[in-house]
Amino acid sequence: MRKLEKLEKLEKLGAFQTVLLFLFISLVRLLLKVHLICT
């Protein structure tokens, strides 16, 4: 049971990190577009 719980927590963390990474990339791309428009 404990091993399964740990695996579930790791899967949730992995999904959370993937979402954070996606948001970070979107933010960087948005900033690059704004930078290109402003210059």
7-31 confidence digits (pLDDT tens)? 899 899 999 999 999 999 999 999 9
State pTM to two decimals. Answer: 0.65
The total of structural domains in the chain comes to 1
pLDDT at position 39 = 76
Domain that holds residue 31: 1-38
Q: What single DSSP character describes residue 33?
A: H
Q: How far apart are CA 10 and CA 2, in angstroms?
A: 12
Q: What's the confidence (pLDDT) of residue 2?
A: 82
pLDDT score at 1 = 60
Instruction: Please give the C-alpha separations between residue 19 and each of 10, 11, 22, 27, 35, in angstroms, as whole numbers.
Output: 14, 12, 5, 12, 24
Looking from the CA of 2 toward its CB, the CA atoms found within 13 Å total 0
Would you state the structure tokens that stand for residue 15, as one six-digit string?
Answer: 């999904």
Higher pLDDT, 2 or 13: 13
